[in-house]
Amino acid sequence: MKIHEYQAKEIFAKYGVPIPAGRVATTPSEVETVAREVGKAVVVKAQVHVGGRGKAGGIKVGKTPEEARQVSEKIIGMDIKGLKVEQVLVEEAADIKEEYYIGITTDRAARRNIVMVSAAGGIDIEEVAVSDPEKIAKLHIDPAIGLQDFQIRQLAFDAKLPPAAVKGIGPFMKALSRVYSDYDCSLAEINPLVLTGDGTLIAADAKINIDDNALFRHKELAQYQAAQEDDPIEAEAHKRGLTYVRLDGDIGIIGNGAGLVMTTLDVVQREGGRPANFLDIGGGAKAEVVRLAVDTVLLDPNVKGIFFNIFGGITRGDEVAKGLLEAMSDLETQVPIVVRLTGTRAEEGLALLEGSALTPASTMQEGARKIVDLVKAA
* Contact of 11 with 194, CB cutoff 8 Å: no
Nearer Cβ to ligand GDP (204/337): 204
Q: Which of 16, 29, 57, 61 forms a contact with ligand GDP (CB under 6 A)?
A: 61
Residue 100: active-site member: no
54 contributes a contact to ligand GDP by CB under 6 A? yes
What whole-number distance in Å separates Cα of residue 10 and Cα of residue 5?
9
Q: Which is nearer to ligand GDP, 85 or 287 (CB)?
A: 85
Secondary structure (3-state) at 207: strand
The answer to whether the beta carbons of residues 233 and 299 sit under 8 Å apart is yes
Q: How many CA atoms lie within 13 A of 361 on its CB side?
A: 22
Which of the choices Mn ion, ligand GDP, none does residue 358 contact, using the CB cut-off of 5 to 8 A by kind? none
Rounded least distance, CB 95 to Mn ion, Å: 17
* Residue 191 engages Mn ion in binding (rule: CB under 5 A): yes
Q: Which does 143 bind (CB under 5 to 8 A by kind): Mn ion, ligand GDP, none?
A: none
Selection from Mn ion, ligand GDP, none that 300 binds (CB < 5 to 8 A by kind) is none
For ligand GDP, which stretch binds (CB under 6 A), given 94-102, 158-166, 259-267, 349-357?
Answer: 94-102
Least separation in angstroms between residue 177's CB and Mn ion is 19
Instruction: Pick the closest to residue 35 from 78, 81, 69, 79 (CA basis).
Output: 69
Verify binding: residue 32, Mn ion, rule CB under 5 A: no
Q: Does 161 bind ligand GDP (CB under 6 A)?
A: no
Compute the distance between CA of residue 71 and CA of residue 354 in angstroms, rounded to an integer.
Answer: 63
**Listed ranges 89-97, 241-249, 287-295, 349-357: which one lies at the site for ligand GDP (CB under 6 A):** 89-97
**How many residues would you count in the chain?**
378
Characterize 275-289 residue by residue with b for buried, 16 or more Cβ atoms within 10 angstroms of its Cβ, and e for exposed: bbbbbbbbeebebeb
Taking the C-alpha atoms of residue 231 and residue 239, their distance in angstroms, rounded to an integer, is 12
Stretch binding Mn ion (CB under 5 A), from 5-13, 189-197, 300-308, 354-362: 189-197
- State the pairing for strand pair 83-84/88-92: unpaired
Site string for ligand GDP, 11-50 (x = CB under 6 A): --------------------------------x-x-----
Which helix (DSSP H) or strand (DSSP E) does residue 347 occupy? helix 346-353
- 313 lines the binding site for ligand GDP (CB under 6 A): no
Give Cβ neighbours of residue 348 (< 8 Å, ≥ 6 apart).
317, 318, 321
- Please identify, using beta-carbon distances, which residue of 47 and 359 lies nearer to ligand GDP: 47
Which of 191, 277, 315, 359 is close enough to bind ligand GDP by CB under 6 A? 191
Q: Half-sphere exposure of 308 toward its Cβ, with a 13 Å CA cutoff? A: 29
* Residue 205 sits in the site that holds Mn ion (CB under 5 A): yes
Give the full edge-to-edge strand order of the sheet including 337-343.
243-246, 277-280, 251-255, 305-312, 337-343, 359-361
Residue 59 contact partner, candidates Mn ion, ligand GDP, none, CB within 5 to 8 A by sort of partner: ligand GDP
Contact with ligand GDP (CB under 6 A) among 62, 65, 122, 168: 122
Quick check: is 101 catalytic? yes
Find the part of the chain contacting Mn ion (CB under 5 A) among 6-14, 73-81, 202-210, 247-255.
202-210
| Bridge pairing between strands 251-255 and 305-312 | parallel
Catalytic one of 6, 100, 101, 224 = 101
End-to-end CA distance of the chain: 38
CA max distance for the chain: 80
Question: Binding residues for ligand GDP, per CB under 6 A?
Answer: 43, 45, 51-54, 59, 61, 93-94, 96, 99, 122, 191-192, 204-205
Catalytic residues, by residue number, are 101, 189
Question: Binding residues for Mn ion, per CB under 5 A?
Answer: 191, 205
